[in-house]
Amino acid sequence: MLVTNLEQMEDIVDSNKDLEWNGWDVIKYKNSPSAQFNKSGAFRQGKWYTKSVFPLTEKGWSIPNSLAGANV
């Protein structure tokens, strides 16, 4: 799904505890004990997570439909 509106993306991030902002990019964290061995692993809040980054492009943010939920 392509999100082209900042307000819509803010609503999506606010309604999903696994998402957060990093500048203009959106990051999704998924709890995974084996993430320490993964190149996309990140240690935060005392646990290992895999991290997926959805960067802002000239067209907007390209995110999976499952993250949009009821905000579509």
**Please, is 60 exposed, middle or buried when counting C-beta atoms within 10 Å of its C-beta (0-12, 13-18, 19+)?**
middle
Q: What is the pTM of this model?
A: 0.84
- pLDDT for res 50: 96
Q: What is the average pLDDT across 44-64?
A: 95
- pLDDT for res 42: 94
- Collapsing DSSP to helix, strand or coil, 4 comes out as coil
Distance (Å, whole) CA 8 – CA 19? 14
Per domain, the residue ranges of the chain are 2-71
pLDDT at 72 over 70: no
